[in-house]
Structure 1
């Protein structure tokens, strides 16, 4: 995170006695990254945060993947994954893996039921809300999530999702094996978002007050690192039972906490000629970046071509999630709301036939998309396989392999 926050009741000096109204001690917990060498926060619990009374295995949803073989661009229609039983689906255990590799996994879920308490101890999560609303209760406090929000949840943050509307909350979950943060080029050496950044600290919304909940023998699902030999994906799960509720923090302060950022607060960077994807970047993790393409004025050179030029992803796979508007370069491909395109490294891709000519003279693009570029190949999860449109790879030529 780029700035300091303080909520609730904390002592004047860290690592000193902090007593309850009845004279007992609160239990101080340091939650920090990179072994005491990076961002952290100090939380003050009424209970002992390490105390557990039971631990059993949690069988995770299917996280197996298969290679993108043969190597082709793919179109995945995620709305196919929504069943009539969405009201009984929760935002954690109901996730279906769409794409993944050793650095990042992308899942999708349409949920209507409150999730269990959950903690991802593998990496940070950046969850994009395609539609719907939800309350996200966390050990740091409460976040309100709505359409267009990125919800960034640091590794090992205990939380749960509670849908709040009459329609499902549709979530595009980006789960890292690392931390997720604003791009380094947007930050000063002390962590402030700079003037050329397309957003600033005012656009990031963290909890506003502590959340305390009473309870005994409380279950928390924990996703954590295992071995490829035991789980296939190197990720496994444990179900803990705590003697008291983990939402027992009376105060905290620091630089590490969950927050929301709405895509409408991203200020697009434009130019006289077509700008490359890095100008759309919003977050980054190890071996991947997250970009968003938002409604914007487009190139204003008199001979400009507003849609992208054809390009070969030499070092990366490009995953584009289409979540609003009309994506000009993909017209005629079958791609629409809730679609993913996977354009793999080793395959040249670009606008669909006719898109270049149609774009000439256009001054504004009304499109909304979230892109993840990865620097290791993406593989298909069971959700991606179930949602595939087999015709997409041939849309540039108009001919399939059997033609």
Structure 2
């Protein structure tokens, strides 16, 4: 049964009672039961945190990437998040036997060569590579990618529900591979298969991408973050679940792109305080002005474990109502996971250890 006590507001995120700070306490990633609490102090007003739930930030673009596989920064039983650099065209091909891969292009451009043909990509492109696909990156310059690997079911598009099938991104914005004639020279060709952290090397006397045609509903595809259409309201700030772009087993991937700010006087224009119950929340900052966060730059990753509050930095709310401020100007990729994520040694080497104090 719905209940209400004390000093509250009629509409969540609008006209917060003076001297209070609104927090959203919700379940199931904002889809389940929810309450709003009005605190007398900011929920992030801690002086110190001891334990594993401390919010963390990492300079992902400073990671030393080596070897064939992406360098993993965060992981659990369902998903891994890492980064990768690619230069030129390697003399071998790759295949992941463990799960689907999502490569987000932070820097660079080139061609993704696959069994199904070629996909041109550039900055801001998501590249979905189904498990078992043979592929190779041919980069025109140095490329830097955020790489998310699904270890369970396949990556898929979200259900649109009442929004309809043309919301978020129209099917015509999705790009699929073109079968093009590849240069085939005599000699030996190598395919490197990754399975359970180990490599198997397979050699062929012919080019492994020799498909003359294909049909079906399983194939690599690309989507630009610039084609993502955010769901928004001019009257009240909406939860991050409206930005879901892809769904995997035990996690979702969301896109944050420039959007008009809320116009109703008294409406919050920045993310509200919440405890991340049921989900760990990861943000990769791609480009723009991340006005709800201080001292965050493009190429960084933040991790907010479930159980501990997070929300806008102290100056963000005031800054959001600056004269002439009408739109956000940021691009970011969010990963929300059901199971707790754990940082790897590679992540800890590039950690901003004082990040959890940045709300003071």
- TM-score band, normalised by the shorter chain? 0.7 to 0.9
Q: Which residue of 1 aligns with 2:284?
A: 321
Corresponding residue of 1:268: 230
Equivalent position SS for 1:308: coil
Of residues 167, 174, 195 in structure 2, which corresponds to 1:204? 174
Distance 2:252 2:274 in 1: 18
CA–CA distance in 2 between the matches of 1:236 and 1:209?
A: 31
Distance 1:187 1:261, change over 3 A: farther
| RMSD of aligned residue pairs (Cα, Å) | 2.1
Corresponding residue number in structure 2 for 1:40: none
Q: Contact between 1:220 and 1:241, CA under 8 Å: does it hold in 2?
A: yes
3-state DSSP class of the match of 1:296? coil
Q: CA deviation at 1:375?
A: 0.5
Distance 1:296 1:77 in 2: 26
Structure 1 residue 94 displacement after superposition? 5.8
- Rounded to whole Å, the distance in 1 between the matches of 2:117 and 2:229 is 28
Pairs within 5 Å for 1:204-283: 204-212=174-182, 213-224=184-195, 226=196, 235-271=197-233, 272-283=235-246
Query: Residues 120-149 of structure 1, C-alpha deviation per residue, up to 9 Å, x if partnerless?
Result: 111111100001112111010001110000
Q: Who is 2:272 aligned against? A: 309
Give aligned pairs, total. Answer: 305
Distance 2:51 2:220 in 1: 37
1:246 to 1:129, Cα distance in 2 relative to 1, 3 A: same
Query: What do residues 380-403 of structure 1 show as CA deviations (whole Å, max 9, x unaligned)?
Result: 123211210111011113xxxxxx
Cα offset for 1:360?
A: 2.5
**SS class of match (1:71):** coil
Partner of 2:154: 179
Partners in 2 of 1:187 and 1:208 — Cα distance? Answer: 33
Work out whether 1:357 is the aligned partner of 2:328: no
CA contact (8 A) 1:311 1:348 kept: yes
Cα deviation digits, residues 91-144 of structure 1 (max 9, x gap): x71621111111111111232242430011111111000011121110100011
- Preserved contact between residue 88 and residue 140 of structure 2 (Cα < 8 Å): no
Structure 1, unmatched stretches of 5+, are 1-67, 84-88, 227-234, 398-403
2:127–2:222 Cα contact (<8 Å) kept: yes
| 1:297–1:363 contact (8 Å) kept in structure 2 | yes
Q: Deviations over 1:167-190 (max 9, x none)?
A: x211101111131111123699xx
Secondary structure of 2:339 counterpart: coil
- Verify: 1:78 aligned to 2:60, yes or no: yes
CA contact (8 A) 2:280 2:341 kept: yes
Once the two structures are TM-superposed, the CA of residue 245 in structure 1 deviates from its matched residue by 2.3
Per the TM alignment, residue 363 of structure 1 is displaced from its structure 2 partner at its CA by 2.0
Q: Residue 86 of structure 2 contacts residue 137 of structure 2 at CA under 8 Å; is this kept in 1?
A: no
Structure 2 counterpart SS, 1:221? strand
1:2-401 superposed matches below 5 A:
70-81=52-63, 93=68, 95-115=70-90, 116-165=92-141, 168-177=142-151, 178-185=153-160, 194-195=165-166, 197-212=167-182, 213-224=184-195, 226=196, 235-271=197-233, 272-331=235-294, 334-360=295-321, 362-397=325-360
Flag the 1:104–1:244 CA change in 2: closer, same or farther, 3 A. Answer: same
CA shift, 1:242, in A, is 2.7
1: CA distance, partners of 2:70 / 2:342: 17
Using a 3 Å threshold, how does the CA distance of structure 1 residues 256 and 127 change in structure 2: closer, same or farther? same
CA contact (8 A) 2:116 2:178 kept: no
Aligned mates of 1:102, 1:236 — CA distance in 2: 17
